[in-house]
Structure 1
Amino acid sequence: MAAAAGLVAAVAAALGALLMAPGLSQPDGQGAPGPRGGAAAAERRRSGRMDQALLLVRNELPAPGLNLAARSGSCHQCLYQFLAFVPPSNESLRKPGTASVMVDTQHPLTLLLNSSVGDRDLCKIQYHFGEFGNYSLVVKTLSTSNQTVSCDLIINEGPINSYLPILFAFLVYVGILALLIAGRLLMKIDTVRNWVYKKLNPRATDRMINSELGSPTTTDSINCDPAPQSWSSGSRQRLRSLDTFRGLSLVIMVFVNYGGGKYWFFKHESWNGLTVADLVFPWFVFIMGTSIALALGSMLRWGSSKWKVLRKIIWRSFVLILLGIIVVNPNYCLGPLSWDNLRIPGVLQRLGFTYLVVAALELLFTRADSGTWEGRFPALQDILPYWPQWIFILVLETIWLCLTFLLPVPDCPRGYLGPGGIGDFGKYPNCTGGAAGYIDRLLLGEKHMYQHPSSAVIYQSTMPYDPEGILGTINSIVMAFLGLQAGKITLFYKDQPKQIMSRFTIWGIVMGVISAILTKCSKEEGFIPINKNLWSISYVTTMSCFAFILLLLIYYLVDVKKWWSGAPFLYPGMNSILVYTGHQVFANYFPFKWKMQDSQSHAEHLTQNLTATTLWVIISYILYRKRIFWKI
């Protein structure tokens, strides 16, 4: 069920929008009446832009005119942005001055009207406009004696409900899931199963898909999505929950990379905070660390030397980084790739380097046997034997904190964590990302960084900023190391699911408490806010909290109770590099993309993005049946 987790996260908003959709209002003699009905909605889509509404300002005041400015509710401590000048009314003709503007509908807006002479504020209105809605803002005098001014917002034509496509898609996938469950229940009936096998003559692989044996055995290897072996060296069973978790993260990542239906909550947060798109990359890094712990132990138990394993680690890291720079580099959209505009950081590059550090660190201290530790504190047997690793990670985090808060950045306050642009009331327009942005610009050069950061839309920042930059890679290493800890838990407490689940729960609570302290349980006012662009430590602890809890649930359902096979996320999870690279390379090819009839329709974008994501799930399923797994 492609992108199901993202859709579930948005269903509440869809239902709320269905119940709270604005009604139509047209007071006599006011506003600008417009066409009604479905044809009107189609006409508005053709004439307007997605996530925008039309606002007509009517000024019934005499000279001077008015200035209209706005500030987005998602823009923290931002300057008001000028929208339009509204001329004064013509008293002789009794004709009000008018101006029309397009306003954003993704977030609530604060509108500010003031006099063009003297800069006197007349009114301030907070409102969340609806997509393709038609509104009027009428400014008039209520009392000439004390010059009281009223500002009335009128709905000329109600907006469309842009969340209906999400609700419809969710119901479609739920229906497909119900049919699959019904089919599986029917297959448990001997008569039906024998008849189907007789007609279709399936291969052994088909029967294995829904069996308890798990996925096909692969060769002992370690990479960014290694095939984790079982806890006992003699078994050939896999932890399906790890593949399922990895596949879930990958499916949502593919969906949001394709556009997420052009909904704002399927895009990365402009700066501080979280959206659905901000969840998946750190989860992928986390499960990579978990897989490293299982795969390394397996290889060493099978007699591979540490030098041989280290060579494989270095090679696979190099291939990942090379794939990221050469194959999926986003600067191909600028023309033929050359060193002048080559983006050096990237998702695969960060995965490769993070994998290199964490796998090498684990290789240095891991043992071929993962038996019970005979120390003074057996409850900490997955931590205390590896105290040098923890010291290394703490030193890395200290480096991140020192560079972030103590490094002098030209023309910027020390320890600045903001987006620059119009944020912080426009005081630091060229300080995007503080030390993190400065280090990248200094070491990589502006042309070798990401040119369109998410902060540019809301905060109107102009400086290049790379969300996969150098400084943030330190915290991605910390994220993978926490995933490595989850892998050690499964090794040290093998055949003890209650112990594993209790440890996951404890780690999730600990990470959650640390996040609550760092953020003060707020989006903007914490010591270190949650920020995906910076990969702040609070972002890492928050995503680790979610990862431990989610892995706990999947492990319980898939590997303990076996109530869920892991499908369909299991299949892309076992071919993650192929799916990720393929969805990037073929993103603009049919059937993953086609020319839309109405590019301003969320429904068409959502259909296209869900179709493309579902196709990759189907492709991974076919490869699974044919036992084709791309390992590097």
Structure 2
Amino acid sequence: MVFVNYGGGGYWFFQHAPWNGLTVADLVMPWFVFIIGTSVVLAFSSMQRRGVGRLQLLRKITWRTVVLLIIGFCFLNYSPRDGPLSWSWLRIPGVLQRLGFTYFVLSLLQTFWGQNQIPERAPQWRSAAQDVLLFWPQWLIIILLETLWLCVTFLLPVPGCPAGYLGAGGIGDDGLYPNCTGGAAGHIDRWMFGDNMYRYPTWKEMYLTALPFDPEGILGTINSIVMGFLGMQAGKIIVFYKGKNIHILCRYLVWAVILGISAAILSKCTRDGGFIPVNKNLCSYLCRSLSYVTAMGCFSFLLLGAMFFIIDVNGWWRGQPFLYPGMNSIFVYVGHSLLGFYFPFSWEIGFQQSHWELLLQNLWGSGLWVLIAFLLFKKKFFLKI
């Protein structure tokens, strides 16, 4: 857990880690991307069983992606802290933009190479890995994409910076590389977007960085797709082993162990060391570095396995009250982004900010949105795209 003092006399709890490392807040969005991948497999499998054609699927995929991009560009660029929307600082990257593009790629993978069925009889060795072997074109594309990320990250020349630099720049690394924030990822984004990037990064005050850097930049899209693809693998296991709960839980555990060991090797079980540090900013709040993807993939398989055991196997819980925001997820997300700074969802906290007041404010705001989602459910109002 990382606690960061931002000069207000207290500590911000549930803030993202300034650069390397993990906090509770860093676990949320990777899980969301993971579940997008799982949902793509389950939804597309259902539509394909109903006879929905490939062309119709492509239309649906394209429409949903375009709507997500438009919402991200037009609605979520505004913040009360920035004043009226201005084209001069319009941010091109963004969370919904990243989610939309990730969904688009995952859906294409499922549409073109995700319709294989389980063979009735298969050799024992093949049966143990059929949910991987039957989708080798998807795996080949993902491996090529990750190879591209590794090559660009560690081999692309960045002026004035060492090859493969992964630090925050500024006063980090004893101030040796002040203009190298984000390494290759930051260099690419600054070349494409200029200063139109994320305006309130978690690392700027701590490392006194001067260069703009966007955690939802171009290069990070690759690892976001990889994170979602791990979720697709979880969905395939549910589809392939339907009714075989022990098989599903065991495979989730195996995947968690494999990914956890991979994360430990890549990071050497340290925060700032290792071959690739665990980092949320090198890619985005949605994917992070490769070691972050493997670490979050491990946690995601364990969490999904636990929920499957509690909800599907034993029926101890049906998902309430979180079921209701999930039915209107876009409405709740956009609503929070536009209104989250206003009363009654939040209020101005005194200069001496405390953990408990911040925690109470966040719980209160989240509870209000759960209540709103429940009322919309009762009124049978569902915002779908």
State the TM-score, normalized to the length of structure 2.
0.93
Is 1:419 paired with 2:172? no
State the match for 1:270 in structure 2.
18
1:608-623 aligned at under 5 Å gives the runs 608-623=361-376
Distance (whole Å) between structure 1 residues aligned to residue 72 and residue 119 of structure 2: 40
**Residue of structure 1 aligned with 2:290, choices 503, 523, 537:** 537
State the match for 2:337 in structure 1.
584
CA RMSD of aligned residues (A): 1.9
**Residue of structure 2 aligned with 1:379, choices 128, 138, 144:** 128
Is 1:297 paired with 2:45? yes
**Residue of structure 2 aligned with 1:486, choices 231, 234, 242:** 234
1:254-269 aligned at under 5 Å gives the runs 263-269=11-17
Contact 2:259 2:297 survives alignment (8 Å)? yes
- What does the per-residue CA deviation read over 1:297-338, in whole Å, with 9 as the maximum and x for residues that have no partner? 111111111011111101101111111111111566323223
- What does the per-residue CA deviation read over 1:385-434, in whole Å, with 9 as the maximum and x for residues that have no partner? 11011000000000000000000001111100000000111010010000
Distance (whole Å) between structure 1 residues aligned to residue 189 and residue 120 of structure 2: 43
For structure 1, which segment, 325-334 or 543-552, has the greater mean C-alpha deviation from structure 2 after superposition? 325-334
1:38-117 aligned at under 5 Å gives the runs 51-52=8-9
Distance (whole Å) between structure 1 residues aligned to residue 308 and residue 245 of structure 2: 9
Distance (whole Å) between structure 1 residues aligned to residue 59 and residue 309 of structure 2: 35
State the match for 2:377 in structure 1.
624
- Residue 617 of structure 1 deviates from its aligned partner by 1.0
Distance (whole Å) between structure 1 residues aligned to residue 76 and residue 222 of structure 2: 23
Distance (whole Å) between structure 2 residues aligned to residue 322 and residue 311 of structure 1: 17
Distance (whole Å) between structure 1 residues aligned to residue 87 and residue 347 of structure 2: 31
Contact 1:266 1:276 survives alignment (8 Å)? yes
1:387-398 aligned at under 5 Å gives the runs 387-398=136-147
Distance (whole Å) between structure 2 residues aligned to residue 630 and residue 330 of structure 1: 21
- Residue 504 of structure 1 deviates from its aligned partner by 0.5
Contact 1:449 1:465 survives alignment (8 Å)? yes
**Residue of structure 2 aligned with 1:310, choices 46, 51, 58:** 58
State the match for 1:170 in structure 2.
none
Distance (whole Å) between structure 2 residues aligned to residue 373 and residue 527 of structure 1: 43
Contact 1:330 1:343 survives alignment (8 Å)? no
- One-letter identity of the residue aligned with 1:423: G
- What does the per-residue CA deviation read over 1:487-535, in whole Å, with 9 as the maximum and x for residues that have no partner? 0000000011111100100000000010011011111110000000012
Secondary structure in 1 matching 2:352: coil
- What does the per-residue CA deviation read over 1:446-498, in whole Å, with 9 as the maximum and x for residues that have no partner? 2x211332211211111111111111110000000000000000000001111
Distance (whole Å) between structure 2 residues aligned to residue 374 and residue 396 of structure 1: 33
Secondary structure in 1 matching 2:135: helix
Distance (whole Å) between structure 1 residues aligned to residue 363 and residue 29 of structure 2: 19
Distance (whole Å) between structure 2 residues aligned to residue 574 and residue 511 of structure 1: 30
Contact 2:189 2:218 survives alignment (8 Å)? yes
Distance (whole Å) between structure 1 residues aligned to residue 360 and residue 253 of structure 2: 37
Secondary structure in 2 matching 1:563: coil
State the match for 1:155 in structure 2.
none
State the match for 1:321 in structure 2.
69
Structure 1 or 2: more strand by fraction? 1
State the TM-score, normalized to the length of structure 1.
0.57
1:98-177 aligned at under 5 Å gives the runs none
Contact 1:453 1:464 survives alignment (8 Å)? no
**Residue of structure 2 aligned with 1:366, choices 114, 118, 133:** 114
Secondary structure in 2 matching 1:383: helix
Contact 2:8 2:353 survives alignment (8 Å)? no
State the match for 2:267 in structure 1.
519
**Residue of structure 2 aligned with 1:402, choices 151, 159, 170:** 151
Distance (whole Å) between structure 2 residues aligned to residue 275 and residue 264 of structure 1: 11
Contact 1:572 1:620 survives alignment (8 Å)? yes
Distance (whole Å) between structure 2 residues aligned to residue 332 and residue 619 of structure 1: 22
- One-letter identity of the residue aligned with 1:592: F
- One-letter identity of the residue aligned with 1:342: L
Structure 1 or 2: more helix by fraction? 2
- What does the per-residue CA deviation read over 1:101-137, in whole Å, with 9 as the maximum and x for residues that have no partner? xxxxxxxxxxxxxxxxxxxxxxxxxxxxxx5xxxxxx
Contact 2:8 2:351 survives alignment (8 Å)? no
- One-letter identity of the residue aligned with 1:327: F
- What does the per-residue CA deviation read over 1:144-174, in whole Å, with 9 as the maximum and x for residues that have no partner? xxxxxxxxxxxxxxxxxxxxxxxxxxxxxxx
Larger radius of gyration: 1
Q: Residues 531 and 583 of structure 1: is their aligned pair in 2 closer, same or farther, counting only changes over 3 Å? A: same
Distance (whole Å) between structure 1 residues aligned to residue 157 and residue 79 of structure 2: 30
% identical equivalent positions: 55
Contact 1:439 1:470 survives alignment (8 Å)? yes
Distance (whole Å) between structure 2 residues aligned to residue 407 and residue 486 of structure 1: 33
- One-letter identity of the residue aligned with 1:279: L
- One-letter identity of the residue aligned with 2:250: S
- One-letter identity of the residue aligned with 1:427: L
- One-letter identity of the residue aligned with 2:329: S
Is 1:348 paired with 2:96? yes
- What does the per-residue CA deviation read over 1:530-565, in whole Å, with 9 as the maximum and x for residues that have no partner? 000012100000000000001111110011101112
Is 1:564 paired with 2:317? yes
State the match for 2:307 in structure 1.
554
Secondary structure in 2 matching 1:412: coil
- One-letter identity of the residue aligned with 1:498: I
- Residue 593 of structure 1 deviates from its aligned partner by 2.5
Secondary structure in 2 matching 1:392: helix
Distance (whole Å) between structure 2 residues aligned to residue 608 and residue 332 of structure 1: 18
Distance (whole Å) between structure 2 residues aligned to residue 373 and residue 442 of structure 1: 53
- Residue 569 of structure 1 deviates from its aligned partner by 1.8
- One-letter identity of the residue aligned with 1:568: P
Is 1:432 paired with 2:184? no
Distance (whole Å) between structure 1 residues aligned to residue 248 and residue 40 of structure 2: 17
- One-letter identity of the residue aligned with 1:381: Q
Distance (whole Å) between structure 2 residues aligned to residue 497 and residue 575 of structure 1: 29
Secondary structure in 2 matching 1:428: coil
